[in-house]
Amino acid sequence: MTAGLETKIEAGKAAAPTEDVIEMCSVLVGETIFGIPIMSILEILGTPATQTVPLAPPYIGGLVHYRGEVLTVVSLRSLLGIPGHSRPPDLLVFEGTGEYFGLQVDAVGEVMTVSPRDFEVNPSTLDDRRKSLFAGTYKLNDALLVMLDPARLDPMQLAQ
């Protein structure tokens, strides 16, 4: 689905600007605002009990019980190498390849609408890790909204 969105963005750029707006859920991690296409989010949970997994890769935030399944949770903070913990993180649930997974963020913000016209690809100065995680940036009036593609945050993907 997200791949479809991207192509839509591409198409929007190539063709005359249309009024295709994309609804993004904004989330905060560290100082950065990230946007996740709202359609890709299955559910936003408060701060469910999380079980840490010894010996797991550092970006794994732990396990969460979600509707009878055991969710593997990715910590966006750890993934970006931002040290320390904020207050108990919020959790977003996505459908990954074959199974659901969770994403821990510092806080979930409001839903924003962005226009493909404001989209730009990752700046070349970003480090490789971020380049591989971020899907580009939307210019907001007073800030930048970094687009996240849930498919790239899938723990299966990250493990490779």
The whole-angstrom separation of Cα 124 and Cα 23 is 26
> Whole-number minimum distance, CB 112 to another protein, in Å?
30
What Å distances lie between residue 114 and 44, 49, 66, 74, 84, CA to CA?
20, 33, 30, 26, 31
Stretch that binds another protein, among 60-68, 76-84, 122-130, 144-152 (CB under 8 A): 60-68
Which one of residues 46, 54, 58, 83 is an interface residue with another protein (CB under 8 A)? 54
Q: Which is nearer to another protein, 11 or 56 (by Cβ)? A: 56
Cα distance from N-terminal residue to C-terminal residue, the chain: 21
Residue 136 CA to residue 120 CA, distance in Å, equals 6
Kindly indicate which of the ranges 7-15, 69-77, 83-91, 103-111 contains the residues binding another protein, using the contact rule CB under 8 A.
Answer: 69-77
69 touching another protein, by CB under 8 A: yes
Rule CB under 8 A: say whether 82 interacts with another protein: no
Q: Is residue 68 within the footprint of another protein (CB under 8 A)?
A: yes
146 touches another protein (CB under 8 A)? no
Q: Which amino acid is at 101?
A: F
Q: Is 152 in the site for another protein (CB under 8 A)?
A: no
Binding track, positions 83-112, relative to another protein; x by CB under 8 A: ----------------x-x-----------
CB neighbours of residue 48 within 10 Å: 17
